[in-house]
Structure 1
Amino acid sequence: MNLRHPNQKIRRPRRNVRALAMLGALCSMNPAADALASGMPFATDRPQTWQFSSDFEGTYDSFGQNLEWNHDNRAFDAHGNQVAGPGTNTFVGLSTFIHYWKVPSLPHVGFNASITLPAIRTQGSQYSASGIGDPLVGGLVWYNPAPATTLGFQAYVQVPIGQNEVSTNTWSFWPSVFYDDWYGHVNVDLLMGGILRGRTLRSGQDDLSPGNTFHLNLRVGYSISPPDSPFAIPFVGLDYQTSGGTFNQTASIPVANSASRETTVGLGVLFQFKPNSLPFLHQKMYDQLSIQYQHSLSGRNTALTNGILVQAWHYW
């Protein structure tokens, strides 16, 4: 799965497709609905999300577009029971640009830097909001102990400069570690990390200290074609997140029912179009497309996940 630059005969690394599902971090748009905020960090992960190769020269880039839709008609209450949800439909588009490079003295190590810009819309009979959300900036480093094995660390900062209706008004830090490996035709992709949040400051409202989040994202896929030339990879996913409660700094009291957790499962398929392979025999660039459906298994104080996630990536 080495990438080739259209103008260079050199081997390129396997790509990083690390789109962020920021529904949870962005759903403080409506203060009255904070206790029912929905979303799973990194929900758009799929097989090979965190697979990289250090077998390349020079630099290269990628651009990804992610589309997420969730039907918020059901929710989990403080006891984990399903109840009527906010009745909204939430749409998130994530646009990400990534630049990749190496250091010659570190032959099995690679780096990238990225910026992700979200566009959000929540629409319902009682409430609606839309706009450009808070961007994430940062990067990652990876290491290949073996050609098909990737280990790494990443860190991003979410900057609260989005439009007022959809901004979190909160600085946050997103660190995580990742692992990807092949076992025959089976790809295992794992991410574990957190979201560390600062104080939420909104003009005319109480100062809040939202709880931090821990998340785990697992994808297991099976390559129908040989793993060194994958085209279609059906996969299953398991996601988990737990977030601490919010503390009202102005009133010096905790916000009731603000701690949340959720476990979701998903099914999807990843399609990959690489150079010198059908159906694009003469294609010089590298492209990917994935689609998956996710649904909640259990949760507490959160809208139930019931949505579709699509992502498309181009590398050059």
Structure 2
Amino acid sequence: MKRNPFARAALAACCLAGAGFASQALAQTTFDVIGPHEYELPTGFKPFNVFVQYGYVQDNRRVYDDKGDKVEGSGSQAIVGLSKYVRFWTPEGNPNIGLAWEAIVPEISVRDGRAGTQASGIGDPLTGFAIWMKPTPESTFGFQSFVQIPAGSTEVSDRNWKNLSSFLWDVRLPAGFGWTADAGYVFQGKRSDGLHPGNSFHTNQRLGWRANALLEPFVAFDYENAQSRGTLPSSRATDLGAGLMFHTFDNQSITLRYSASVNGRNHAANNSLNLKYAYVW
């Protein structure tokens, strides 16, 4: 199948925000849904739209305690979907930069087999923007910022406002390799119950290799560190993962990944299967 270069660039631009949208109890590191080419973004293009459906299943059997030891967790299972619409465009006065605005709605279900309970509903939605430039034809550098609104279902809402702001970059390397990554902070407001979670730093790194027109295996590194505040202790987690991106059509792709924590403290241990489907038009 002949590939359309613009469509490939548009498809790569499909995700400018990731996990961390649902309750912190779900263990996922902020923005850890990103995949290869996530920030390989175009400039000088006509406006286009993207729909992305993420999904992951997280097993909460293990957690890290205050000493950094892995101990028994709740045993619950989290099933989360993230539905996202993005509008991309280039300003008429400056075609050398790109802009995007997006809205994300989480769908959350947490099942506790031991207690025989289930909490489910629509999570706290996000909306925000991204801006980027291309320092070289093979690289992208930008900034993104999102507001998370505590308007989700009571059973699954974090019950506080958040701002997620980060720098993003992508570098296309020789021999079919590519590096895409971000680094930033999550700024937390006070919850309705009076608790005020600490702000957190996160970074997400993906190194992929385009094996052929269809397949791109990749490795993943995710790190998060939250500061202590009041009675809430500091926490951290380091996750490693491996996945495969299927470049199915010019305007569609499917990405699969497994992720697991290798180190942490006061944090649930990540043990998740992740899926992303993207469609560009």
TM-score normalised by length of structure 2: 0.93
Q: Secondary structure at the match of 1:3?
A: helix
Identify which of 86, 92, 108 aligns with 2:96: 108
Q: Deviations over 1:138-193 (max 9, x none)?
A: 01001012222110000000000001011111000000001101111110011001
Identify which of 258, 268, 272 aligns with 1:293: 258
* 2:208 is equivalent to residue 221 of structure 1: yes
Question: Contact conserved, 1:13 with 1:55, CA < 8 A, in 2?
Answer: no
Identify which of 20, 23, 26 aligns with 2:23: 26
Q: Deviations over 1:189-211 (max 9, x none)?
A: 11001100011113xxxx11110
Q: Secondary structure at the match of 2:100?
A: strand
In the other structure, the counterpart of 2:158 is 168
Report matched runs for 1:275-294 at 5 Å.
Answer: 275=250, 286-294=251-259
* 2:258 is equivalent to residue 306 of structure 1: no
Superposition deviation, residue 19 in structure 1: 4.4
Structure 1 residues not aligned, in runs of 5+: 6-10, 29-36, 248-253, 276-285
Q: Secondary structure at the match of 1:174?
A: strand
Question: Contact conserved, 2:124 with 2:158, CA < 8 A, in 1?
Answer: yes
Report matched runs for 1:1-316 at 5 Å.
Answer: 2-4=5-7, 14-22=12-20, 26-27=23-24, 38-57=27-46, 59-124=47-112, 125-126=114-115, 127-184=117-174, 185-202=176-193, 207-225=194-212, 230-247=213-230, 254-255=231-232, 258-275=233-250, 286-316=251-281
- CA distance, structure 2, for counterparts of residue 13 and residue 273 of structure 1: 11
TM-score normalised by length of structure 1: 0.83
The AA in structure 1 aligned to 2:241 is: G
Question: Contact conserved, 1:19 with 1:94, CA < 8 A, in 2?
Answer: no
- CA distance, structure 2, for counterparts of residue 162 and residue 3 of structure 1: 36
Question: Contact conserved, 1:13 with 1:54, CA < 8 A, in 2?
Answer: no
The AA in structure 2 aligned to 1:315 is: V
- CA distance, structure 1, for counterparts of residue 11 and residue 279 of structure 2: 14
Q: Deviations over 1:115-150 (max 9, x none)?
A: 000011111122431110000100100101222211
Q: Deviations over 1:254-308 (max 9, x none)?
A: 23xx321000000001111344xxxxxxxxxx00100000011100111111110
CA-atom RMSD, angstroms?
Answer: 1.8
- CA distance, structure 1, for counterparts of residue 168 and residue 10 of structure 2: 21
Q: Look at both structures and tell me which one has the larger radius of gyration over its CA atoms.
A: 1
CA shift in 2, pair 1:146/1:26, >3 Å:
same
The AA in structure 2 aligned to 1:52 is: L
Question: Contact conserved, 2:221 with 2:241, CA < 8 A, in 1?
Answer: yes
The AA in structure 2 aligned to 1:80 is: G
- CA distance, structure 1, for counterparts of residue 138 and residue 14 of structure 2: 14
Superposition deviation, residue 17 in structure 1: 2.1
Question: Contact conserved, 2:18 with 2:31, CA < 8 A, in 1?
Answer: yes
Superposition deviation, residue 12 in structure 1: 5.8
- CA distance, structure 1, for counterparts of residue 252 and residue 11 of structure 2: 13
- CA distance, structure 2, for counterparts of residue 268 and residue 301 of structure 1: 27
Q: Deviations over 1:72-91 (max 9, x none)?
A: 11111100101101100011
Question: Contact conserved, 2:50 with 2:87, CA < 8 A, in 1?
Answer: yes
- CA distance, structure 1, for counterparts of residue 60 and residue 135 of structure 2: 43
Question: Contact conserved, 1:19 with 1:66, CA < 8 A, in 2?
Answer: no
In the other structure, the counterpart of 1:34 is none
In the other structure, the counterpart of 1:279 is none
- CA distance, structure 1, for counterparts of residue 187 and residue 33 of structure 2: 20
The AA in structure 1 aligned to 2:52 is: G
Q: Secondary structure at the match of 1:201?
A: coil
Question: Contact conserved, 1:15 with 1:51, CA < 8 A, in 2?
Answer: yes
- CA distance, structure 1, for counterparts of residue 130 and residue 269 of structure 2: 31
